[in-house]
């Protein structure tokens, strides 16, 4: 199994509200179609310019404060449903039976970390050769009332359960750099080296921690997956190269 995270900066220009890169997502779906159904895939995507602006506007990460919090919670979820619908249609056009699974319906968080999950529907979809598609979403939270469950947190939970052979993060840059934006691309990175890196986040609004959060997750992911890749999802063919193992990007290992 391969878990693919389509970052919000790949799906959309985060600086443009409700922007969607349809051609890019179609290209990703086309690359996956070359291997499906011989290979099992789980797709997780970020919020991009759909979920993040609303989550920030309604201060979802501050928790359940008042009636406006509840309104914002619902509107943010609806925006994510709209985005995942666009993603699913791109996959269906490439004859991939992508099946959307609402993350807010299967994960309960505490301070944004998943503490309870019901993954039966994911397992059943995989058994029937569907491609489950999950996404960063709002969540009911045991500490704050409401929160955000990020796509990266979801990937970590899925990896613990399914032990994929690869986890591939699709970003809007070629990988991880020793300095950003003027540094050198790090082609291979040991998990123990991550804490020493000084990094900047992605451009635009990101309420879930950006690249720093992804690298924190990667440190854990190498305990459950053989390879964790960070590659440029805006460049056609990079996903296929990461699957083969010869990609321009950053490979994180234990």
Here the CATH number for the domain that contains residue 196 is 3.40.1160.10
Instruction: Please give the pLDDT value at position 30.
Output: 98
DSSP 3-state assignment of 132?
strand
Strands 227-232 and 250-253: antiparallel
Q: What is the reported pLDDT for 196? A: 78
Whether the Cβ atoms of residue 27 and residue 65 lie closer than 8 Å to each other = no
Q: What percent of the chain has pLDDT over 70?
A: 94
What pLDDT was estimated at residue 210?
65
180: left (phi over 0), alpha (psi -120 to 50) or beta: beta
Per-residue burial over 43-81, b if 16 or more Cβ lie within 10 Å, else e, is bbbbbbbbbbbbbeebebbeeeeeeebeebbebbbebbb
Residue 160 binned pLDDT confidence (cut-offs 50, 70, 90): very high
Q: pLDDT value at position 203?
A: 46
Q: How far apart are CA 101 and CA 162, in angstroms?
A: 16
Q: Is the pLDDT of residue 233 over 80?
A: yes
Please say if the pLDDT value at position 201 is more than 50. Answer: no
Q: Which residues pair with 228 in a beta bridge?
A: 167, 252
d(CA 108, CA 99): 21
pLDDT band at residue 122, thresholds of 50, 70 and 90? Answer: very high
User: Which stretch, 124-128, 190-194, 196-200, 243-247, has highest mean pLDDT?
Assistant: 124-128
* CA nearest neighbour of 111 among 82, 89, 144: 144
Picking from 185, 183, 196, 193, the residue whose alpha carbon sits closest to that of residue 222 is: 193
Q: Which of 144, 174, 162 is nearest to 238 (CA)?
A: 174
Per-residue pLDDT at 214: 82
How far is 148 from 141, CA to CA, in rounded Å? Answer: 8
- pLDDT higher at 200 or 222: 222
Instruction: Report d(CA 5, CA 95) in Å as an integer.
Output: 20
The model's pTM is 0.93
Q: Check whether 45 has a pLDDT greater than 50.
A: yes
For residue 76, give Cα distances in angstroms to 58, 85, 146, 147, 219.
Answer: 9, 14, 12, 11, 29
**Mean pLDDT of the chain, nearest integer:** 93
- As a whole number, mean pLDDT of residues 23-44 equals 98
- Which range marks the domain in which residue 33 is found? 2-253
Mean pLDDT across 210-229: 89
**How many domains in the chain?**
1
């Amino acid at each position: 199994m391969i878990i693919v995270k389509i970052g919000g900066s790949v799906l959309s220009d985060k600086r443009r509200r409700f922007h969607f890169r349809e051609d890019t997502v179609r290209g990703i779906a086309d690359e996956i179609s070359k291997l499906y159904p011989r290979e099992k895939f789980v797709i997780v995507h970020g919020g991009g310019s759909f979920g993040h602006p609303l989550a920030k506007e309604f201060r979802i990460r501050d928790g359940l404060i008042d009636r406006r919090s509840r309104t914002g919670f619902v509107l943010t979820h609806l925006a994510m449903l709209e985005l995942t619908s666009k993603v699913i249609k791109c996959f269906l056009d490439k004859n991939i039976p992508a099946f959307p699974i609402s993350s807010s319906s299967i994960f309960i968080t505490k301070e944004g970390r998943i503490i309870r999950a019901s993954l039966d529907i994911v397992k059943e979809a995989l058994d029937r050769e569907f491609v489950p598609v999950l996404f960063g979403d709002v969540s009911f939270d045991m500490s704050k009332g409401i929160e955000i469950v990020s796509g990266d947190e979801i990937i970590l939970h899925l990896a613990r359960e399914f032990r994929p052979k690869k986890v591939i993060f699709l970003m809007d840059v070629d990988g991880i750099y020793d300095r950003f934006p003027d540094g050198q691309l790090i082609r291979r990175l040991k998990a123990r080296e991550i804490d020493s890196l000084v990094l900047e986040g992605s451009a635009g609004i990101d309420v879930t921690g950006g690249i720093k959060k992804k690298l924190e997750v990667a440190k854990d992911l190498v305990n459950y997956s053989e390879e964790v890749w960070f590659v440029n999802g805006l460049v056609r063919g990079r996903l296929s190269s990461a699957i083969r193992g010869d990609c321009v990007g950053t490979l994180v290992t234990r």
